[in-house]
Amino acid sequence: MKPARQAEPPAPSGTPGLSIVSNSKPRILALDVGTRRIGVAVSDELGLTAQGLETLERRNNREDYAALSRVAAQRQVSMILVGNPVNMSGTEGRQAESVRQFAEALSAHSGLPVKMWDERLTTAEAQRVLRQSGISIQKRARAVDRLAAVLLLQSYLDSLALSGETEPGA
């Protein structure tokens, strides 16, 4: 008596023997954490580019953690990258300690790993780019945090590409 043959599950496309290959990488959520606003960006599915999302107006830590956890879940991210506001000398000041505490609590709340990333000059670069674009001061103020998060994430993605790393946080 022959053993019973188990049926193979159909290929995702519905065509036998045809499978779909995905080049998507885990997505990363990047945050430029300030005292009044949090700039937010997310990586594309290929892990090549950073796209800005709506800037979060801060309310209180509990609401901020909940809102960011929702964004992370909706965007299916596997890691959160938080800008580390170190001084130009590389030392950490009061703001860096505050952001580090925020990042640790966000990791606990979201269940996702959080990585700190040097954000020196990202806000200055964002302001320079926006100033050169010719948009009004009011629009610049609303866009600077998002652009700083985009620049932060893009620098991280570029470092992964240069190092040959494929997984965020590796």
In this predicted model, what pLDDT tens digit does every residue of 38-90 receive, in sequence order? 999 999 999 999 999 999 999 999 999 999 999 999 999 999 999 998 877 77
Positive/negative CA dihedral, 9, 14, 15, 19: negative
What is the distance between the alpha carbons of residues 159 and 14, in angstroms, rounded to a whole number? 39
Continuous segment of H or E residues that includes residue 43? strand 37-43
Hey, is 18 helix, strand or coil?
coil
**pLDDT > 70: percent of the chain:** 78
Q: Which residues pair with 166 in a beta bridge?
A: none
Q: What is the DSSP letter of 84?
A: E
> Is the Cβ–Cβ distance between 77 and 51 less than 8 Å?
no
Q: Is the pLDDT of residue 155 over 60?
A: yes
Would you state the structure tokens that stand for residue 46, as one six-digit string? 């290929």
> Is the Cβ–Cβ distance between 122 and 148 less than 8 Å?
yes
Would you state the structure tokens that stand for residue 45, as one six-digit string? 């599915």
What is the distance between the alpha carbons of residues 142 and 164, in angstroms, rounded to a whole number? 35
Query: What CATH number should be reported for the domain whose range is 27-162?
Result: 3.30.420.140
Q: Are strands 37-43 and 77-84 parallel, antiparallel or unpaired?
A: unpaired
Q: Is the pLDDT of residue 3 over 60?
A: no
Angle between helices 94-110 and 61-74 (to 10 degrees): 60
